[in-house]
């Protein structure tokens, strides 16, 4: 059973790409393969023009982690509950030999300030349970930044946070991107959040990339029927209180039992006989705009 | 419209070694027959404590300290366990957060219906139970074959719908939903909410839906009450709240949702974080985060809910009369 099929994506330096999909779409698996937490069955990952080998030695893996870091969804389980903030943030510096001695303390304080946990003295000795969800997520971001990575994979970094602090966390990530020249792969099921944060949006459905393009274009003029469905299902306070009724069968596809042809055809209002034959190719139908749909 | 539920001066919370922690303070709410009320608030605002207090489900160290829960004129807090059992499920039911985890994993779905119906209805015959279960499955849109499934064989969305089906089985007058769609994806979320709303039209029950996602409520609720630090800080018809929020916290929350369409621009949430219920600031609990806090007033006096427009209430000193007797010294 494949969680990810035919995944092709190029990320530019300083770019944010949002990977949007529901659970079971394969987006988290895709991210973890890129982060080398899982091994891919097939295919290649190129970083800065060089291929990242499927099997890496400990040294190679360590070097890789200097370039690619992850931020996780759950601020409550992604920090070791027994480690103080100081310890959590010192570790990457020490492991990667980026600082030593008194410099470490100084760097940790700088990192705390960068992510808005000021004054750093107030936070540096705290244990995770003494911090709020938003504060813990900031520590997670600081930890990812510690090694000066090129790419951060953020797996639903705000979905478990209260609504009123999500924007500030997203803004922090955007500011850090500008200051550090970072790239982000931002994984989410929240289309509005993706639109806010990303330069480009990639939509995944049942293990396939089904649409890819500039953020504004994908939202304002979706090319794939699944994108249209996501758009109509998203809460829209600005819709003027005319709630949209969506009509589709409810359940997400079982990846172990995908029907032949386009994985979306059972739910697609525009499905035609040709859609059931084979999985369409992801094609560029306009400059920079890709879709996996026979109707375009 | 007759009043189905009247929560009067309800205060509830937890008894800790250090003392009482009030999670719901002096709550006053009225719900009419067939009304859909949304209770919006973020973590730690007391909304779940309130829901459990209304449903009579608060367990020690949780307790109701003061107030009444008048349901059809009877104070539920005065009822015995046996009497409360007759109310529960038959007249008032609750779908708890992540209900999918509340279904018994070693019992087939059909038997979970039997369990509820045997305990809370007057009937004992399995034919009746099957009839009810089939009818409820039809209403929530699940194929009858899943009656004999175990919970782990169902997707998250289906489990949630089963929980809703069980909550509606005895046709209660009031259904309390605590974050009914939080763990679910947007498409399933919208389907389930649509379903709940059409069931409400068909069966005529009232709903209290608790969620931190105000944007959902704006689309489907009749009335919205916004909670912060254990108090209702604003209450109005949904459309009115959306168009003309008065309380700075509500205004901040409304601004926290990036719009789906249109051009992208920088937005800001609310700085800081919700207070610890065990150590609230003096005066208005929101003042440390409030862009319109008035020094010398907001940190000293605790505002209470006042009518600022017809049917629109806000607890904020910005709207209190200068010589108000409603605002009290902290």
pLDDT at B321 over 80: no
Q: What pLDDT score was predicted for residue B329?
A: 44
Q: Where are the alpha helices (DSSP H) in chain A?
A: 27-34, 58-65, 85-95, 102-114, 120-123, 133-145, 163-180, 191-197, 215-220, 225-233
A163: chain B residues, CB-CB within 8 Å: 42, 212-214, 253, 256-257, 269
pLDDT at B76 over 70: yes
Residue contact B157–A251, C-beta within 8 A: yes
At A39, is the pLDDT very low, low, confident or very high (cuts 50, 70, 90)?
A: low
Decide if the complex's ipTM is over 0.85: no
User: Which whole number is the average pLDDT over B169-183?
Assistant: 86
The interface residues of chain A toward chain B in range 46-85, judged by CB-CB distance below 8 A, are: none
Residue contact A237–B219, C-beta within 8 A: yes
User: Could you say which of A168, A189, A219 has the minimum Cβ distance to residue B185?
Assistant: A189
Q: Does B242 lie at the interface with A, CB-CB under 8 angstroms?
A: yes
Q: Which residue of A has its CA nearest to B195?
A: A245
Q: Does B322 lie at the interface with A, CB-CB under 8 angstroms?
A: no
Angle (CA) A10 A12 A18, round 5°: 70
Residue contact A162–B260, C-beta within 8 A: no
Tens digit of pLDDT for each residue in B189-231? 888 888 888 888 888 999 999 988 888 888 889 999 999 999 9
Half-sphere exposure of B177 (CA within 13 A, CB side): 30
Is residue B270 within 8 A of residue B317, CB to CB? The reply is no
What is the CB neighbour count within 10 angstroms for residue A128?
21
B43: chain A residues, CB-CB within 8 Å: 133, 162
A188: chain B residues, CB-CB within 8 Å: none
Structure tokens that stand for B69 in this block: 């829960």
The interface residues of chain A toward chain B in range 180-199, judged by CB-CB distance below 8 A, are: 189-193, 195-196
Tens digit of pLDDT for each residue in A141-165? 999 999 999 999 998 898 878 888 8
Q: Which residue of B has its CA nearest to A250?
A: B188
Q: What pLDDT score was predicted for residue A246?
A: 63
Is residue A107 within 8 A of residue A139, CB to CB? The reply is no
Bridge partners of A204?
Answer: A209
Q: Which residue of B has its CA nearest to A267?
A: B187
Q: What pLDDT score was predicted for residue B45?
A: 85
For tokens 């499934």, name the residue: B149
Sheet strands (E) in chain B? 3-16, 19-32, 36-40, 62-71, 74-75, 92-95, 174-178, 206-211, 223-228, 231-237, 301-302, 306-309, 312-314, 328-329
pLDDT at B323 over 60: no
Q: What pLDDT score was predicted for residue B103?
A: 84
Q: Which of A136, A240, A250 to mutate to test the interface with B (most CBs of B within 10 A)?
A: A250
A164: chain B residues, CB-CB within 8 Å: 42, 252-253, 256, 269-270
Is residue A108 within 8 A of residue A124, CB to CB? The reply is yes
What is the CB neighbour count within 10 angstroms for residue B97?
17
Give the residue, A291 or B277, on which the prediction is more confident: A291
User: Which whole number is the average pLDDT over A43-58?
Assistant: 77
Structure tokens that stand for A65 in this block: 């982690």
Tens digit of pLDDT for each residue in B282-308? 999 999 999 999 999 999 999 999 999
- Cα A190 to Cα A21, A81, A100, B232, distances in angstroms: 8, 28, 41, 28
Average pLDDT, chain A: 86
Q: Does A90 lie at the interface with B, CB-CB under 8 angstroms?
A: no
Q: Which residue of B has its CA nearest to A188?
A: B185
Q: What pLDDT score was predicted for residue A50?
A: 76
- Report the alpha-carbon distance of residue A176 to residue A194 in Å, rounded: 17
Half-sphere exposure of B77 (CA within 13 A, CB side): 21
pLDDT at A241 over 60: no
Q: What is the 3-state secondary structure (H, E, C) of B258-326?
A: CCCCCCCCCCCCCCCCCCCCCCCCCCCCCHHHCCCCCCCCCCCEECCCEEEECCEEECCCCCCCCCCCC
Angle (CA) B133 B134 B138, round 5°: 115
Q: Which residue of B has its CA nearest to A249?
A: B191
User: Which whole number is the average pLDDT over A168-179?
Assistant: 91
Is residue B277 within 8 A of residue B46, CB to CB? The reply is yes
- Report the alpha-carbon distance of residue A151 to residue A174 in Å, rounded: 13
From the list A163, A160, A119, A164, the residue with the least C-alpha distance to A140 is A160
A233: chain B residues, CB-CB within 8 Å: 186-187, 189-191
pLDDT at B25 over 50: yes
B254: chain A residues, CB-CB within 8 Å: 237
Q: Which residue of A has its CA nearest to B154?
A: A251
Q: Does B212 lie at the interface with A, CB-CB under 8 angstroms?
A: yes
Is residue A141 within 8 A of residue A149, CB to CB? The reply is no
At B159, is the pLDDT very low, low, confident or very high (cuts 50, 70, 90)?
A: confident
Is residue A215 classed as helix, strand or coil in its secondary structure?
helix
From the list B86, B93, B236, B77, the residue with the least C-alpha distance to B177 is B93
Residues shown for chain A: 296
Give the residue, A107 or B194, on which the prediction is more confident: A107
Residue contact B188–A196, C-beta within 8 A: no
Residue contact B215–A241, C-beta within 8 A: no
Q: Does B153 lie at the interface with A, CB-CB under 8 angstroms?
A: no
Q: Does A178 lie at the interface with B, CB-CB under 8 angstroms?
A: no
What is the CB neighbour count within 10 angstroms for residue A15?
16
Q: Which residue of B has its CA nearest to A241?
A: B219
Give the residue, B224 or B83, on which the prediction is more confident: B224
B156: chain A residues, CB-CB within 8 Å: 23
Give the residue, A250 or B228, on which the prediction is more confident: B228
């Amino acid at each position: 059973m494949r969680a990810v099929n035919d995944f092709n994506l190029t990320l530019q330096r300083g770019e944010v790409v949002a990977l949007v999909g529901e659970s079971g779409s394969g987006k988290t698996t895709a991210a973890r393969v890129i982060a080398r937490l899982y091994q891919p069955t097939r295919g290649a990952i190129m970083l800065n023009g060089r291929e990242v080998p499927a099997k890496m030695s400990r040294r190679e893996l360590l070097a890789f982690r200097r370039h690619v870091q992850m931020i996780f969804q759950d601020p409550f389980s992604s920090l070791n509950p027994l480690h103080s903030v100081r310890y959590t943030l010192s570790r990457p510096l020490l492991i990667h030999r980026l600082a030593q001695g008194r410099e470490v303390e100084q760097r940790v304080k700088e990192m705390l300030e960068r992510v808005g946990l000021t004054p750093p003295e107030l936070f540096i000795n705290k244990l995770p349970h003494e911090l709020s969800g938003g504060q813990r997520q900031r520590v997670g971001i600081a930890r990812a930044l510690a090694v000066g990575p090129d790419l951060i994979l953020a797996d639903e970094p705000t979905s478990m946070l209260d609504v009123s602090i999500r924007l500030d966390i997203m803004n922090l990530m955007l500011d850090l991107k500008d200051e550090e020249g970072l790239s982000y792969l931002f994984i989410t099921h929240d289309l509005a959040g993706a639109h806010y944060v990303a330069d480009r949006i990639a939509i995944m459905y049942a293990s396939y990339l089904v649409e890819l393009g500039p953020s504004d274009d994908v939202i304002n003029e979706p090319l794939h029927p699944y994108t249209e469905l996501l758009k109509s299902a998203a809460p829209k306070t600005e819709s003027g209180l005319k709630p949209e009724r969506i009509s589709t069968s409810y359940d997400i596809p079982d990846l172990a039992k995908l029907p032949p042809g386009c994985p979306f055809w059972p739910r697609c209002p525009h499905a035609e006989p040709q859609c059931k034959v084979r999985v369409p190719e992801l094609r560029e139908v306009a400059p920079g705009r890709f879709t996996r749909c026979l109707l375009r | 419209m007759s009043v189905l539920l009247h929560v009067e001066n309800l205060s509830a919370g937890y008894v800790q070694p250090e003392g009482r922690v009030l999670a719901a303070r002096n709550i006053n709410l009225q719900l009419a027959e067939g009304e859909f009320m949304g209770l919006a608030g973020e973590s730690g605002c007391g909304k779940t404590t309130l829901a459990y207090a209304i449903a009579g489900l608060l367990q020690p160290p949780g307790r109701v300290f003061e107030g009444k829960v008048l349901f059809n004129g009877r104070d539920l807090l005065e009822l015995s366990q046996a009497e409360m059992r007759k109310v529960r499920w038959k007249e008032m039911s609750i779908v708890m957060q992540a209900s999918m985890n509340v279904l018994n994993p070693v019992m087939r779905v059909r038997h979970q219906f039997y369990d509820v119906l045997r305990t809370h209805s007057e009937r004992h015959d399995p034919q009746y139970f099957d009839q009810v279960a089939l009818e409820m499955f039809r209403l929530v849109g699940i194929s009858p074959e899943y009656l004999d499934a175990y919970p782990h064989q169902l997707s998250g969305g289906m489990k949630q719908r089963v929980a809703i089906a069980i909550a509606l089985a005895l046709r209660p007058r009031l259904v309390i939903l605590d974050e009914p769609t939080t763990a679910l994806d947007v498409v399933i979320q919208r389907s389930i909410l649509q379903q709940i709303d059409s069931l409400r039209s068909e069966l005529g029950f009232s709903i209290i839906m608790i969620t931190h996602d105000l944007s959902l409520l704006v689309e489907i609720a009749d009335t919205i009450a916004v909670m912060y630090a254990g108090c209702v800080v604003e209450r109005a018809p949904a459309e009115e709240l959306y168009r003309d929020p008065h309380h700075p916290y509500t205004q901040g929350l409304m601004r926290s949702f990036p719009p789906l369409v249109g051009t992208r621009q920088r937005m800001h949430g609310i700085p800081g974080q919700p207070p610890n219920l065990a150590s609230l600031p003096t005066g208005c609990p929101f003042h440390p985060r409030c862009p319109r806090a008035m020094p010398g007033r907001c940190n000293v006096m605790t505002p209470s809910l006042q009518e600022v427009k017809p049917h629109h209430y806000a607890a904020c000193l910005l709207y209190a009369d200068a010589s108000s007797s409603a605002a009290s010294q902290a």
